[in-house]
Amino acid sequence: MGVESRHQPASDSRRQKVAGGGGVKADAHFKDDLGLDSLDAVEVVMSLEEEFGFEIPDNEADKIDSIKAAVDFIASHPKAK
């Protein structure tokens, strides 16, 4: 086992938890439940923009603080792919 596998950055382990399901519920809050910091939240928004093909304005991005908020925003956006 190499040093890399034992010292995985925290953000990578959080990504794996979210991506793998890991018991994440729809109402999971990014900071309180998933341990994401503000930079992680920005990365989530950027990933949503890339995945769904439109820019999310900063004032709307600030409101996306949970899985449910992200899903609701994307579901209600007319430009979502």
Catalytically annotated residue among 33, 37, 65, 72: 37
The answer to whether residue 53 scores a pLDDT higher than 50 is yes
pLDDT per position as a tens digit, 30-51 = 999 999 999 999 999 999 999 9
What total of structural domains would you count in the chain?
A: 1
pLDDT digits (tens, 9 = 90+) for 69-80: 999 999 998 887
Q: Is the pTM of this model over 0.85?
A: no
Question: Does the residue 62 lie in any domain?
Answer: yes
Q: Which domain holds residue 41?
A: 3-76
Number of CB atoms found within 10 A of residue 17's CB: 15
37 is catalytic: yes
The answer to whether position 81 is within a domain reads: no
CATH of the domain at 68: 1.10.1200.10
Residue 59 maps to a domain: yes
* pLDDT recorded at residue 21: 55
Q: What is the CA radius of gyration of the chain?
A: 14
Angle at 16 between CA 13 and CA 19, to 5 degrees: 150
